[in-house]
Amino acid sequence: MVRTAIPALGSYLRALRFERGWTQIDTASHADISQTLVSQLETGERSLTYAAAAALERAFGLLRGHLDPYVEAYPRDVGGGDGI
C-alpha cells in the first residue's frame, strides 16, 4: 500500500503550525498530545488516528472531520489504548 497521505499530512500540519507561529511543543500543548507525536506526524513516521485528528482539529480551530481524509486508509480507533 502506498501511503501518499502521510507526507501530505506532515506538510499540512507544519503549515498550520507555522501560520500560528507555533512550535511543535506549542502544538502539542494546544492539542493535549505529545511533542513526539507532532514530530512523528510531520515527518511521516506515524500515521494519524481519529483521536489525534480530533485533538489537532480542536487545537487548530478546524471543523470536526477536516483531517479525516488523512486517516481514511487506516482502521478507525476502537476502544482501549491511548489512540493518540
Q: What range does the domain containing 59 cover?
A: 5-70
Q: Region 14-25: what's the mean pLDDT?
A: 97
User: What is the grid cell recorded at 74?
Assistant: 487506516
pLDDT for the residue 52: 96
Q: Looking at the domain assignment, is residue 31 inside a domain?
A: yes
- What does pTM read for this prediction? 0.79
pLDDT at 78 over 50: no
- The 3-state DSSP class for residue 75 equals coil
Residue 82: pLDDT band (50, 70, 90) is: very low
pLDDT at 3 over 70: no
Q: Looking at the domain assignment, is residue 81 inside a domain?
A: no
The pLDDT > 70 percentage for the chain reads: 76
Which backbone phi and psi does 24 adopt, to 5 degrees? -60, -35
> What's the total number of domains in the chain?
1
pLDDT at 1 over 70: no
What CATH code is carried by the domain that includes residue 65? 1.10.260.40
Sign of the alpha-carbon dihedral angle for 25, 27, 33, 35? negative
